[in-house]
Structure 1
Amino acid sequence: MSSSRYPASVDVAIVGSGPTASAYARILSERAPGATIAMFEVGPTVSNPPGAHVKNIEDPERRTLAQRASEGPGAGAETVNSPGAVKSGERRARPGTYLMADGYAFPGEDGMPVAAMSSNVGGMAAHWTAACPRPGGRERIDFLADLDQLLAEADRLLGVTTTAFEGAPFSGLVHDRLAAAVDGGRAPAFRVQPMPLAVHRREDGRLVWSGSDVVMGDVTRGNPRFDLFDESLVKRVLVDGGRAAGVEVEDRRTGGIHHVAARYVVVGGDALRTPQLLWASGIRPAALGRYLNDQTQVVFASRLRDVSPGEGENRTDGALSEQSGVTWVPYTDDMPFHGQIMQLDASPIPLAEDDPVVPGSIVGLGLFCAKDLQREDRVAFDDATPDSYGMPALRIHYRLTAKDHEVLERARQEIVRLGNAVGEPLDERPFVLPPGASLHYQGTTRMGEYDDGESVCSPDSQVWDVPGLFVAGNGVIPTATACNPTLTSVALAVRGAGRIATELAGAAELAGALLMSDSDNRMTEQ
């Protein structure tokens, strides 16, 4: 008997537990209910149900503990929520994430000083803002004819709605002021509108933010053939005869190394660690790690004009306050940035005690810029230097081009204009966050229509030349996007999971036909 807590073999092994990995588990549970599925996550379970958003933890102390447990090798470091203002040039991660120790920038390059990751069941979906806008214009993947259907399915899995904040007292005011400044000349789909959010309300009125638990749903949690293994580091994808054959996993609790055979392997980590695992496995297509895509982020703050106190209750439990809602200014090809406008939980500047600030009246404006994609922007891997998990250390090479700087300057001007449209700016100049701050890294396992050496996987997310190996996550997105990428990456996961489910169903049908034929032959012989 084996003392391993892992199965000897499964139909599908899934690496990671974020929203895209969870989408594979959900679609397979729905469309291939006979398949055995094992999901492996390097970090611990920090919420109940597993994968839930930490904002849903009502007790502040328990929420903080969950965030700290998600910070992997960076646990204990100061975060942007730590006491004291963050100074210019200071590297701090957001709660629930951790920064690279080194290798994040090289001489003559911009690098990504605050590139961050999470290690916990649910991945970054336990800590995200839950914004789920659809891509538009050149953000869209033009070789996927079914993209809109896939995005609709991603809406379903994530529980996306545009009505969560419709009762917020200042949301209409923010919308109308922005619309007056933005909507002229725009097609209806690109005008100012409520941000699509993966959030819903309970019967008691409290917001519930979607995490991987919502993506998995009851059908996955109730699937007797699905198992989730936390604190399990997948060190290699096993390949046999050129085809994916399983995974090598380290039990982080015991240090034991185990092999789990699988007919299909899905690597659904983030855009830094998914290519890292492929590299460590000896799977190294030419485009692996390349076309690394961050979104330069500009932020600004304004105090709403002509608002009165008492129009909404201020939240003090650490969750997002609700007076101003979340408003979306969509990307367009002419204005290549995406806007997210939401109230700040606290003022970004010191305010005098007698300053008559109306709760919810200070709004933060953020513009995310589309990147000028370059093949040389990449994450590389140092086989001679292990990271804190014993994997080849990450090395980021990243530059902003002249075009990037031009778009960034336009975004600076635009965010000041929008800030003046909604109220009185709290500062004269917007602030550009350091590279990596968006947490929206993409492109490193990019999808392509053809295997031309500039992509890692097919339109079904299957790695070129390695049948049975699929990649998932934001790294699969091949376009320069400005909008939040999660909805798109979940949509792509739906397509890949559908491919696996179809092949499993076909194999089961063939096996059944062969069994029936064999039975008929035996009866004929008798």
Structure 2
Amino acid sequence: MSEQLSADFVVVGSGICGALTALVLAQRGASVIMLEAGPRVGRAELLANFRNSPRRGDWMSPYPFSPWAPHPVYRPEDNEYLVQAGPYPYPAEYIRMVGGTTWHWAALAWRYVPNDLRMASLYDVGVDWPFTYDELDPYYQWAEELMGVAAAGEEHPESPRSQPYPLEPVAEPWAMRRIRERLTGTYAVANNPVARNSRTFGGRPACCGSNNCQPICPVDAQYHGGISVAAAEAAGVRLISSAVVYNLEHDEQDRIVAAHYYDPDKNSHRITGKTFIVAANGIETPRLLLMSTSDRFPNGIANSTDMVGRYLMDHPSTSLTFDADEEIWLGRGPQSPSSISALRDGAFRSEYSAYRLDFTNISRVDSTTQRLLKEGVYGPEFERRLRYSAAHEMSVKTVLEVLPVPDNRIALSERKDALGLPRPQVHYAIDAYTRGGAQDAKQHFTRIAELMGGSNLRFTADDYFANNQHICGTVSMGDDPAVSVCDGWGRTHDHENLFLVGTGVLPTAGTCNSTLTAVAVALRSVDAMLPDPTIAREPAAAAERTGS
């Protein structure tokens, strides 16, 4: 007979949001069990996988695929785990293993701009959040301190802050310095805020500039979910890996009483607890809720108003690649170090999407080599063209806002995975609002190329949008249960002891990578789950007034 386990809190998912939530709960004296569908894999093995991978440029290749906990794989061919229902493809990438997808990220740690939380009120599009930017500010700071975010506050007036960044900016690469100097007077180019060490921090070294931020930082200068998990376990959290949660069980009062999971051999186990937290990503969280059906909830847990899975958002990108008139040599330093933020907000948002302009600093050697070989170029001509492109080629991309549209959603497919569970199905379209932002950006692409003396301009096709893997929405927060899944604290409207954390709860996507905001919102939710009596926080007091 298997061991019967129970805890004050049961957390489903060991990514950065789930692990940091578990960490803080344990630090406050609670017993916590954290369940992770994927395996535990050490950093040394991941680094070896990266260095030995024959699939250069495939940033998923270091991360093991587990038949019992599959994730999307697209190279060398699509495994079709994420079933596409159209009309536009949504090839999301994420990792199911201990620590989650932040093993593999560029560590960009932007804050939203305040108006991202007031889209309906200000621009008559999207929705308003159930709390304000000012309420989130202390939790942003807390998240930045946990993760060691490096930036200069004066470079980011678009996102006000009450305290300085924990770390000074990471050293600016030469290429980005030249771009900034040549665009000065027309565009303000700023260093991206990053969860990457600019000096020794958290027992880890500073960034060494190796340009391997993705698929994995070779020196562990970047923060990631593996670090969060280690801290949670050190605080007393019990982690069970290879535990695929497939059902949440409720009682007659609609409280969640147990999580059922399969091990890799499809043996079923039951974990009980007082409070349950689903911390999978914006695809796996709705998938679990939709699978958890009962006579009372035939459409799934927390889904009495058919909102689970809806409002899927990301940040599609268009781009321009061109040759600068001087040697800038991309490839030294972080892969995504600098951006232009001037277009992240404005009255135009009532008509078309806001966006950030992001400069890529990925070495051009590999991509140029592959292109020249496909063209049949060899010998001295190969060497000449490779050197020229490596030195002169650069690119700039948009990070486009997507509105919360109910028909963009995650559903359950009729196709099954190895454990017999439904694969997630995605319904996705890119609407006129987002396309309008992409069209507006073309004038800025052209102007940037002019300022850099650009030639050989190559725009992406009008109907091509790259995916950025910033999975937002699908279990959105809100005050109205008719159009949201959980309240402003992450508590589901249907179940008083079921909380949701992660990027899926974000009601709008803004124009920045979603991880930092998701962590900040998760930390705010912890103050509703288990307030810290030693810290006087207004959100905790508000939670007490609502009976939390």
Which bracket does the TM-score occupy, shorter chain normalised? Answer: 0.7 to 0.9
Structure 2 residue matching 1:297: 3-state secondary structure: coil
Query: Which residue in the other structure is 1:96 paired with?
Result: none
Correspondences of 1:334-353 after superposition (within 5 Å): 334=348, 336-347=354-365, 348-349=367-368, 350=371, 352-353=382-383
Decide whether aligned partners of structure 1 residues 198 and 503 sit closer, same or farther in structure 2, where only a CA change above 3 A counts. Answer: closer
Decide whether aligned partners of structure 1 residues 134 and 420 sit closer, same or farther in structure 2, where only a CA change above 3 A counts. Answer: farther
Distance 1:259 1:504 in 2: 32
Amino acid at match of 1:429: F
Correspondences of 1:67-466 after superposition (within 5 Å): 67-73=61-67, 79=75, 100-101=80-81, 103-106=83-86, 109-112=87-90, 114-140=91-117, 141=129, 143-144=131-132, 145-162=134-151, 163=168, 165-183=170-188, 192-200=189-197, 201-202=199-200, 203=205, 206=208, 208-216=221-229, 218=231, 220-223=232-235, 225-240=236-251, 241-252=253-264, 254-281=265-292, 282-283=300-301, 284-286=303-305, 287-307=307-327, 321-322=332-333, 326-330=337-341, 331-333=344-346, 334=348, 336-347=354-365, 348-349=367-368, 350=371, 352-355=382-385, 356-357=387-388, 362-382=393-413, 384-422=414-452, 424-431=454-461, 437-448=467-478, 450-466=479-495
User: Per-residue CA shift, 1:237-293, capped at 9, x if unaligned?
Assistant: 2222211222111112x3211111011111111111101111111312421111111
Decide whether aligned partners of structure 1 residues 475 and 179 sit closer, same or farther in structure 2, where only a CA change above 3 A counts. Answer: farther
Distance 1:156 1:103 in 2: 38
Correspondences of 1:483-522 after superposition (within 5 Å): 483-502=512-531
Most deviating of 439-448 and 194-203? 194-203
Distance 2:334 2:273 in 1: 49
Q: Would the aligned equivalents of 1:377 and 1:398 in 2 still touch at CA under 8 Å?
A: yes
Question: How far 1:132 sits from its partner (Å)?
Answer: 1.0
Question: How far 1:19 sits from its partner (Å)?
Answer: 1.2
Distance 1:251 1:470 in 2: 24
Decide whether aligned partners of structure 1 residues 436 and 365 sit closer, same or farther in structure 2, where only a CA change above 3 A counts. Answer: closer
Give me the TM-score of the superposition, normalised by structure 1. 0.77
Structure 1: runs of 5 or more not aligned: 83-90, 93-98, 184-191, 315-319, 506-526
Q: CA RMSD in A?
A: 3.3
Distance 1:323 1:9 in 2: 43
Structure 2: runs of 5 or more not aligned: 118-128, 152-167, 209-218, 293-299, 373-381, 535-548
Amino acid at match of 1:396: V
Structure 2 residue matching 1:417: 3-state secondary structure: helix
Decide whether aligned partners of structure 1 residues 345 and 432 sit closer, same or farther in structure 2, where only a CA change above 3 A counts. Answer: farther
Give me the TM-score of the superposition, normalised by structure 2. 0.74
1:11 equivalenced with 2:41 (yes/no): no
Distance 1:69 1:323 in 2: 21
Query: Which residue in the other structure is 1:515 paired with?
Result: none
User: Per-residue CA shift, 1:30-52, capped at 9, x if unaligned?
Assistant: 3x1x21111111111222499xx
Distance 1:478 1:248 in 2: 29
Question: How far 1:167 sits from its partner (Å)?
Answer: 4.7
Distance 1:23 1:267 in 2: 13
Decide whether aligned partners of structure 1 residues 262 and 392 sit closer, same or farther in structure 2, where only a CA change above 3 A counts. Answer: same
Amino acid at match of 2:228: V
What is the total number of aligned residue pairs between the two structures?
456
Distance 2:250 2:44 in 1: 33
Between Structure 1 and Structure 2, which shows a larger proportion of strand residues?
1
Amino acid at match of 1:157: L
Structure 2 residue matching 1:412: 3-state secondary structure: helix
